[in-house]
Each structure stands twice: as structure tokens, then as C-alpha cells.
Amino acid sequence: MENNFLNSEFTELITNDDFVRMVKDAQDTDKLLNDLVMQCPQNSNDLKYAVEFIRIAREDKQKMQTADSERILKNIQNNPVGKDGRTILFRRLANSKVAAIALLVLAIGALVMFSKQDSLKQFAHKNEVSQNDAMIVLSDGSKHILNENELDINYNSKEGEVVVQKEESVVATIKNEPKNKREFNEVIVPYGQRQHVVLNDGTSVELNAGSKLVFPAVFSGNNRTVYLIGEGYFDVTKDSNRPFIVKTDFIDVKVYGTEFNVTAYKDEELASAVLVEGSVSVKQSDKILKKQALFIKPGEACFYSTVNEELEIKDIDVDLYISWKDGIYNFKDVPLSYVITRVKKYYNVEITVENADLLETKLSGKLLITGDIEEVIQYISRAVECRYEKPKEGNYFLSKY
């Protein structure tokens, strides 16, 4: 039998109707678990915890009601997890055997999930995006400055080395021999630059301005997980046994081999996953109790609002969201405030608009973001019919005539 949900995480499994029904109807849950692990060995831990959780609920004389299950999940969600990975506090639950045991099983599953993502997230937030220089941070903490824009940073060319190239010329070769394959590396791209990274599995990532990517030097284990802050365009090497997961502060995107764009800037109210080719699933990050993942098709995007914490799928013009990787910024019927936010990132400049109503002016057009900033400012000022001043280098002031 083929069950597409078997590679899901623990919390998705225990809220999946088909999976729950399968476990509840099983005459021998041990045999069922063995069969499931045979089908999906890379997800054995999550399957084990999910089957045990459902089995306990089924066998207890006091059957767990939906409200009990949700309360337990919310309890785990609302309790902090210490840096050492241990749960600090559990709130008191109803005095039932099933609640106590199920809470223990769920806590274990939750900690497994947190341990996978927490170290990545901590590493990603440890180093701030520099205002001037792109940088490679190795697992030993050493930092290697990249003095040029639009370089190719290759982790896939030679084991134990990172090769940095500009077109066909090698700019630098950096020794990278982590003691543990799970140790993380990081590429940081400042505002005003873009960089290209090839990961150990051959996956290609275009990183936009003001972004950082955290990843293991060598992918090992059941999946290929990276952490993104900012924006990246991913062309993922296909591996049907190991999904590729992009985690961000807001959404997680899971694929096996495809092309897509992820945007998750800390200073913007919308995060998004835009699919160019293949199929991806998107879910909310850092939530134990969350809705099932949403699947998007080519030509669709999944948007996450940091204000109302909701996911929404929309049909979109893909080129409007991915043209930046080719040095072009396309926009259609968006407010000047949005264009300004993007231009500031692309060029690492400050732009102040004096009049609030100017910020709401809708614009459509195309900007060559590899061009001169003065030309971009002139284009914007003509489009919204305003004047601009340059009080000092890297600072622009827009106001009405």
C-alpha cells in the first residue's frame, strides 16, 4: 500500500485522519509499525511516537475526547523548551491515565522535533547580517569575508573544501572538515549583494540581499534541512528518500526535488513560498499545534501573514517573485512603500518618504537592480511625480513638489 503521509512529522501524523484510522483499526500495532517503518525507514522515530500516542488513546478505558487531545497539544505548545532541549514546565492536566501517558509520549515527540530545528534556528540568529561584507561562517566559528558580489560558493566540488568562484576563476579555496557532519555552516549576504551557493547534495540556492542560509556541511540522516532568513531561490536536487526542508522564522517548506522561491524577511509582514516547478508543502513554523501542511502547485504561492498567523494559497504571476535572481525587479500594482522596502535591500541604501500618501501610490514596472541607484531613484520619482534629494551618500529623501 502507498501512503503519502508516512514521511510527515509526528504532529502531522497524529492529526491525519487516515493515519489515525489505520492505527485504531490495526489488530497488531507492533506489526503495523514494522510495516510502516519498512515503507518509510527514514521516518521511523516519528512513526513510532505517533503510533504509540494513538495506541494509548485507543486502549485506555477512558477514551480521550477531541478536547482532551487538543488541550494536551496546547499544553506542549505553550510550555518553553530549554536550550538543553528539556521541557521546563508542564501545566496540570486532567487526572486521567491517558492524559498523563499521552502527554509523556507527546512530550518526547515534541522534543524530537524541537531538537531538530532549535539548534538550526539558534545558529541562524547568532550572526547578524553585515552591512558591508558577505561572509562564510564555518562550523568551527571561523569567518571568511567575501569581497565580491555575485560569487559562486560551492560545497559540492571537492570534499573537505569550499570553493569560491567568480564566473570561471577560483577566488578562494577554504578548508572545511567538520568533526561532525551535522555541524552547521552559514552564508551571510549583506544588503546590496546577491550570492549563489551550491550545497553538498548539488542543490543550487540564489540568496537575495539581506539574507542568510544555515546548513550542514554534509547532509546526513533522513532529510536535508536548511534554515533561511531573508529570500532564496532553490533548485533542489531530487532525492525521493530524503526530503529537502527549508525552515524559516515563519513557514517551513518541504520538497523532494523542485524549483521554488522562499521569502521570510524579519522586517516584512508577509512570508511566502512560490512554486516554479514540482510540488511543495508549506506549514507554519515553530508550532506544535498547527493545521496540516498546505500543498501548492506550479504557478501558485502560499503566503503567511505574521499579523494574523494564517496561511493562504493564491494564483500568481511567478515572474514577479523570482525575477530578482536574474537582476530584475518586476512589480505590478504594488504600493510605493513595498517598492521602497525592496530597493533599500537591493542597494543597501536609506530612502525616506516625507508624505504618507505618497507611500500608498500604486506602481507597476520593471527595475534593473544591477544598475545604478541614481537611475532607480529617478525612475521612482518620475513614476510617483515627486522630487528627490540626496543629503549624503547612500541616503535619499523623496517629497511632493
| Predicted TM-score (pTM) of this structure | 0.74
pLDDT for res 81: 45
| pLDDT (average), residues 235-243 | 91
Alpha carbon distance 134, 345 (integer Å): 14
Q: What is the pLDDT of residues 124-140, one digit of tens each?
A: 888 777 667 899 999 88
- Contact, 93 vs 76, CB < 8 A? no
| pLDDT (average), residues 371-380 | 91
pLDDT for res 101: 52
Give 165-195 as a DSSP string. EETTEEEEEEE---SSTT-EEEEEE-TT--E
**What is the topology classification, in CATH, of domain 327-400?**
Phage tail protein beta-alpha-beta fold (3.55.50)
pLDDT for res 15: 76
| pLDDT (average), residues 367-380 | 90
| pLDDT (average), residues 371-382 | 91
Domain ranges for the chain, please list them: 4-122, 127-319, 327-400
| pLDDT (average), residues 111-122 | 60
CB neighbours (10 Å) of residue 389? Answer: 12
pLDDT for res 56: 72
Looking at the structure, give the CATH architecture of the domain made up of residues 127-319. Answer: Sandwich (2.60)
Name the CA radius of gyration of the chain, rounded: 24
Q: What is the pLDDT of residues 138-173, one digit of tens each?
A: 988 889 999 899 999 999 877 789 999 998 899 999
Phi, psi (degrees; rounded to nearest 5) at 169: -95, 135
pLDDT for res 62: 42
* Amino acid at the residue 27: Q
Does residue 104 carry a pLDDT above 80? no
| pLDDT (average), residues 62-75 | 50
Phi, psi (degrees; rounded to nearest 5) at 377: -65, -40
- Contact, 306 vs 248, CB < 8 A? no
pLDDT for res 299: 96
Binning pLDDT at 50, 70 and 90, where does residue 248 land?
very high
Binning pLDDT at 50, 70 and 90, where does residue 93 land?
very low
Q: What single DSSP character describes residue 362?
A: E
Binning pLDDT at 50, 70 and 90, where does residue 268 land?
very high
Instruction: Give the chain's mean pLDDT.
Output: 83
Among 104-113, 217-226, 372-381, whose mean pLDDT is lowest?
104-113
Estimate the crossing angle of helix 66-78 against helix 97-126, to 10 degrees.
30
**367 vs 116, higher pLDDT:** 367
Q: What is the pLDDT of residues 188-213, one digit of tens each?
A: 999 999 999 999 999 999 999 999 99
Binning pLDDT at 50, 70 and 90, where does residue 285 land?
confident
pLDDT for res 160: 81
Burial letters 165-200, b for 16+ CB under 10 A, else e: beeeeeebeeebebeeeebbbbbbbbbbbbbbbbbb
